[in-house]
């Protein structure tokens, strides 16, 4: 992962984590690539509250949830919705 913009990441790719590459929101907006997912700064802050040993899984689950629901931006509400979805 190469951070191009501090605090803001965009996952670009399909449902598998190995296919996700990271871009800044500004670059994603320029590429107009379908399936690009941006993380809001507030969602990133909330994600940092999750213990480090499950944070990666929480990120992946949230990104998969966003892809399945056709979302382009992950905010705090999306983070909580994904948590509720995967805790069933």
CATH number for the domain spanning 47: value is 1.10.8.550
Lowest-confidence range among 2-16, 28-42, 52-66, 74-88? Answer: 2-16
Higher pLDDT, 35 or 19: 35
- Tokens (6 digits) for 37: 């997912």
Helix (H) or strand (E) holding 74: strand 73-74
Domain assignment of residue 64, yes or no: yes
Higher pLDDT, 29 or 63: 63
Domain assignment of residue 29, yes or no: yes
Say if residue 53's pLDDT is above 70.
yes
Domain assignment of residue 78, yes or no: yes
Domain assignment of residue 16, yes or no: yes
Domain with 67, as residue range(s), is 10-86
* DSSP conformation letters of 6-40: TT--EEES-SSGGG-EEE-HHHHHHHT-TTEEEEP
Confidence class for position 29, pLDDT limits 50, 70, 90: very low
If one counts the domains in the chain, the total is 1
Say if residue 45's pLDDT is above 80.
yes
């Amino acid at each position: 992962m190469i951070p191009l913009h501090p605090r803001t990441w965009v996952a670009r790719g399909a449902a598998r984590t190995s296919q996700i590459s990271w871009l800044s929101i500004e670059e994603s907006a320029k590429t107009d690539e379908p399936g690009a997912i941006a993380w809001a700064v507030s969602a990133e802050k909330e994600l940092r509250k999750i213990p480090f040993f499950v944070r990666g899984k929480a990120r992946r689950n949230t990104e998969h949830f966003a892809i399945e629901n056709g979302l382009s931006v992950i905010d705090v509400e999306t983070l909580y919705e994904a948590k509720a979805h995967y805790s069933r």
